[in-house]
Amino acid sequence: MAGIRAMLITGGLAPGSRIDQIELSRRFDVSIVPIREALARLASVGLVEIVSHRGVFVAKVSAEELIDLYTVREILEEQAAKIGVDRLTDADVDALEKIADKMATAAKKKDLDQYLMLNRELHFTIYRATRRRYMMQIIEQMWDLSARYAHLQLHALPDRASQAMSEIRAIVSACRRRDREEVGMMVRYKVHQTSVGLLERMHLPELEDKTSETSRRNRRAVEAEEKAGTQKTRSRKGRRGTPAIS
């Protein structure tokens, strides 16, 4: 199933297209039975649609679904981040910093698939700390469904990966301080900004206007975090002669 799922997320199977099950069985060198079982599981999470007497189709993408998915993600992931940050260990935060470093390298190299994989790993390091099974199940499903949109945006706007690193660094810095409110706000802001960018890519400025106030409010929070980090760096430089690394 992992191979088919990857094709769905990366666009290897185009949204709305009919899936050739025989071709998939040849591609993965298996019989048709496991292909059908995998497609049934993927249908249960909304990645494909099984239409009676017609076949199996890749789920379509739409602005309405995008808004629905990312609205749910904003609310749920903000709460998961707040709960998770209280339970992060120092080792967890060290891992977050290492992941962020790898993300920066991937962004610089424009290795977008690697960047997306690391982005998911970073967020789920925080969310898994909640130890909330049902919350995690829903978040994982939302990520699988929205990954197709995120993949579309990042490959269409490759510079977005580098631009997003300031947001990633701000999240990790707030995790280090165990600032649950700040982490929750940053995570929500990042999810929101992704949805705004995607709506712009889909040429729906009127939908972006509806979310502009939230975008401005969240952006102010990020700017405040970056300013605080800059002041802290200057303060440490004045004491020890070397800048801090966040």
- Where is 57: in which H helix or E strand? strand 55-58
Q: What's the rounded mean pLDDT across residues 101-111?
A: 93
Per-residue DSSP letter, 18: B
Strand, helix or coil at 167? helix
232 or 41: which carries more pLDDT confidence?
41
Q: Where do the structural domains in the chain lie, given as residue ranges? A: 2-58, 63-240
On whether the CB atoms of residues 126 and 80 are closer than 8 A, the answer is yes
Query: To 10 degrees, what angle do helices 112-128 and 180-201 make?
Result: 140
Per-residue pLDDT tens digits for 183-232:
999 999 999 988 888 887 776 444 444 444 444 555 555 565 556 555 54
pTM of the model: 0.73
Whether the per-residue pLDDT at 174 is higher than 90: the answer is yes
What's the confidence (pLDDT) of residue 89? Answer: 96
Q: What's the rounded mean pLDDT across residues 163-172?
A: 91
Strand, helix or coil at 32? helix
Confidence of residue 147 (pLDDT cuts 50, 70, 90): confident
CATH no., domain 2-58: 1.10.10.10
Mean pLDDT over the full length of the chain: 82
CATH superfamily of 63-240: GntR ligand-binding domain-like (1.20.120.530)
User: CA–CA separation, 88 vs 173, rounded Å?
Assistant: 13
